[in-house]
Amino acid sequence: MPGFELFGDTERKHLNDVVDNGVLMRYGFEGMRKGHWKARELEAALCQKMQTKHAQLVSSGTAALSVALSSAGVGAGDEVIMPAFTFVASFESVMAVGAVPVLVDIDDTLTLDPVAVEKAVTARTKVVMPVHMCGSSAQLKELKAICDKHGLLLLEDACQAIGATYEGKPLGSYGDLGCFSFDYVKTITCGEGGAVITNNDQYAQNADHYSDHGHDHVGKDRGAEQHPFLGYNFRISELHAAVGLAQLSRLDEFLGIQKRNYTILREALNTVPGITFRRVPEGAEENYSFLSFFLPDESSARKAHKALGEAGVDGCFYWYDNNWHYVRQWQHLKELKSPGKLPQEISTGMPDYQNRDFSVSDAVMGRTISVLIKLGWTDEEVNDRAERMTGAIRGAIK
């Protein structure tokens, strides 16, 4: 991670196909394309790779989540249960459709705690949205049981976890819908892009229409297409899809490199007293894009993180203080700051996050460090990194 580290001839070939025919838009202009439909090809490849019937490409992972929610009928005033540890896009996408993000605690998987989810269900709850943070699965079996019990949708935010699996199924394919991000720093990238996958025919048709102004895409005359319902512009371009098509063909290659580098670092850190590792649910396999581990307490985690930086080990994240990924720093959400007036369902229905108790999550996040696993490291570099990491942490927490 990220895929841009290994851009090469495959990416250039697909991009040149688009540049040569000059059609950058995914719809229309059939006579000019010379048979190239990169978005369609990438959607078909995603269906095969993710073992699902349908895939809809969109402009970002954030767009994918909003499109998925709307396509499944989620809207104003509905509640979506999600974790307190995620990227801000997760709650932004919920609010974009007028729904209310209900943040709950995580556990040592760094994902949703099923016990906290069960307690958060109300009559307004419509969706449970696990976020497979840092490349590893939430406890999907337990979460699906809660959804089945209460008649809720299970929407997987797999934006950070493409290639990871749960009970042999690709993450994103286990729930009713799954979403991916292909932004510039993901394991595979389009530069900008995202996708919704599902086995539900109606959700898929809704996503197809909703992401393109409500166009029904019937026939070959775009100007004559009907608009069964309102939509927005969440389209991906052919240039972005071309890069993604190349990168998806290399996913297994990338995962193999990540696993090798991850394993070297983990085996080294396993020799350091006091370090434990994030729990991967039974039956799950990570995509190895991050190595996440715990120190005994917040103080030792802070010391270790500082020591890693001083030792020149980049790509180490102490999420507890991070502006973008943990509720502790989301003041804009807590105060509902927006340049425009928010829907009443949000302004009156949002929980009081200024005073909500997230001490359970704090106890986890305050001890957590995650290390980005890069694709471009040489063997010498990854082994040198392992040595510097273990030395820095030993020195910090002795």
Q: 């270790």: which residue's tokens?
A: 304
Question: CB within 8 A of 354, min separation 6: which ones?
Answer: 334, 335
Q: Which phi and psi angles does 165 have, rounded to 5°?
A: -135, 160
Instruction: Tell how strand 153-157 and strand 177-181 pair up.
Output: parallel
Distance, CA of 266 to CA of 159 (rounded, Å): 23
CB atoms within 10 A of CB 88: 17
DSSP 8-class letter at 373: P
Q: Residue 27 burial (CB < 10 Å; 0-12/13-18/19+)? A: middle
Query: Terminal CA-to-CA distance of the chain, rounded, Å?
Result: 32
Candidate list 38, 49, 144, 186, residue with the active-site label: 186
| Category of 270 on φ-ψ map: left (φ > 0), alpha (ψ -120 to 50) or beta | alpha
Distance, CA of 90 to CA of 103 (rounded, Å): 10
**Burial per residue of 218-243, b for 16 or more beta-carbon CB atoms within 10 angstroms, e otherwise:** eeeeeeebeeeeebeebbbbbbbbbb
Tokens coding 144? 């699906």
Q: Please say whether the beta carbons of 214 and 230 come within 8 A.
A: yes
Question: CB within 8 A of 39, min separation 6: which ones?
Answer: 26, 57, 236, 238, 241
Active site residue 186: yes
Give the orientation angle of helix 38-50 with respect to helix 238-248, to 10 degrees: 30
Q: Please say whether the beta carbons of 125 and 155 come within 8 A.
A: no
Distance, CA of 149 to CA of 163 (rounded, Å): 29
User: Which residues have a catalytic role annotated?
Assistant: 186
